Amino acid sequence: MLAQLDHVTKRYREVIAVDQVSMAIKEGEIFGLLGPNGAGKTTLIQSIVGLVAIESGTITLFGLDHRQDERRVKQHVGVVPQELSIFEDLTAQENVSFFGSLYGLKGKGLRTATMEALDFVGLKDRAGQYPKTFSGGMKRRLNIACGIVHRPRLVIMDEPTVGIDPQSRNHILHSVRQLNASGTTVLYTSHYMEEVEQLCHRIAIMDNGRIIASGSKDELKDLIAADQVIHVSIAGRNGDEAAAIGRIEGVKECEGDQNQLTIVSHKDAKNVGRIIQALYEQGREIQSLSIERPTLENVFLTLTGRSLRDH
C-alpha cells in the first residue's frame, strides 16, 4: 500500500472533523474521496500531509510514518490545496519555481522541472505573465503546476475543479489521467459525483467525518443493486409528497427539490404504481417519470438520506 490510514481522528473543539477513518491507497491508482461540504475531506488531507496534528490513529506513506519521517515523506507528496496558494506578484514561472525550490530543486533541474510543469497544465505560453491576468481556471492550473513540480509519487488534489469554466475543468481532468498514466498515484477529492465516477479507480464516500462506504464504483453500486431509482417531475408541490411516498413499503428514500422527486425503492417492491397513486391522492399532476440504474449519487442518498449535490 502506498498510503495506509488507521483510525485517524481529528477534532476541532466539539466538531469531529475526521472520525476513526481507516483507508488504504494503492500504488498507481486514482483514489477518489467523495463527500459533501463539511464532510472532512480537507481535514483528512491536511492530516495526511501533516498540516494538522491528528488526535489519534496512524498514517503511513510509502511505508514510513508521516510524522516521524516527515521530511522524507514530504519529498514524495505533492499537494494541490483547495484554496489557491499562488503569489499574485510573481509570474507563473516564478510561482512554480518557488515551490520547486522548497523541495530542494535548483539550477537547471529547477528550470526544466518548472517549464515541464507549466507545459503539463497548458500554461507554458503564459510563463512570464502574472496570475492576476489569469482566469479562475488558469489560476487553478497554476496551483496544480506548483503541486507537481517536484514530480511526487503521490499527488493529492483537493477539489481542483470547483467553480471553473468547462474548458479548464476538462483540461484538469485530462491532466489527472495523464499524471496517473505516467505512474503517479492520485488522491482526488470532490463533491462532484460524475467526476469521481469517471476518474477514479476506487472511491471512499465520506460524510460527517466518517467513511461510510468504499470500493470500486461497481462495488459501491452493488450496495444498492437491489434498488431502483425513480425520478418524478410534478406540477406544483405542497411538501407532503415526499413523506407520503416515504411511507410506502420498500421505499428507502424520497428526496426532492422544487418539482423533482428522487425515490430509491427496492426493485422487488414494484412501487411505481403506488408512487403514482400516492401523488394522485395528494392532488399532484405527474409531468414525467423515469426509472434509472443507481448512480453514486443514489448510493450516497441511500446511505445518508441526503443528497450530495445540494450541499
Ligand X SMILES: Nc1ncnc2c1ncn2[C@@H]1O[C@H](COP(=O)(O)OP(=O)(O)OP(=O)(O)O)[C@@H](O)[C@H]1O
Q: Does the CA dihedral 306-213-41-30 come out positive or negative? A: negative
From the list 139, 151, 191, 221, which residue makes contact with ligand X (rule: CB under 6 A)? 191
The C-alpha torsion from 219 through 220 and 226 to 232, rounded to 10°, is -140
- Told to check if 42 binds Mg ion by CB under 5 A, we report yes
Residue 39 vs 142, nearer CB to ligand X: 39
Length of the chain, in residues: 311
Sequence-separated (6 or more) residues with CB below 8 Å from residue 83: none
Considering CB distances under 5 to 8 angstroms, the limit depending on partner class, which of Mg ion, ligand X, none binds residue 9?
Answer: none
Rounded Cα gap, residues 296 and 203, in angstroms: 10
Residue 42 vs 271, nearer CB to Mg ion: 42
Rounded Cα gap, residues 93 and 112, in angstroms: 11
Least distance in angstroms from the C-beta of 160 to Mg ion: 11
The answer to whether the CB of 52 falls within 8 A of the CB of 10 is yes
Considering CB distances under 5 to 8 angstroms, the limit depending on partner class, which of ligand X, Mg ion, none binds residue 87?
Answer: none
- 256 grid coordinates: 426532492
State whether residue 106 is helix, strand or coil: coil
The answer to whether the CB of 192 falls within 8 A of the CB of 23 is no
- Told to check if 40 binds ligand X by CB under 6 A, we report yes
Least distance in angstroms from the C-beta of 228 to Mg ion: 33
Rounded Cα gap, residues 78 and 154, in angstroms: 6
- 305 grid coordinates: 438520506
Pattern 90-119, binding to ligand X, x per CB under 6 A?
------------------------------
Least distance in angstroms from the C-beta of 35 to ligand X: 5
**Sheet of strand 56-61: strand arrangement:** 15-25, 3-12, 56-61, 64-65
From the list 2, 3, 30, 41, which residue makes contact with ligand X (rule: CB under 6 A)? 41
Least distance in angstroms from the C-beta of 211 to ligand X: 12
Residue 82 vs 282, nearer CB to Mg ion: 82
**Which is it for strands 3-12 and 15-25: parallel, antiparallel or unpaired?**
antiparallel
Residue 82 vs 295, nearer CB to Mg ion: 82
Least distance in angstroms from the C-beta of 71 to ligand X: 25
Question: Near ligand X by CB under 6 A, which window of 39-47, 234-242, 275-283, 286-294?
Answer: 39-47
- Told to check if 299 binds ligand X by CB under 6 A, we report no
Q: Which residues bind ligand X (CB under 6 A)?
A: 12, 15, 17, 35, 37-43, 82, 191
Q: Which residues bind Mg ion (CB under 5 A)?
A: 41-42, 82
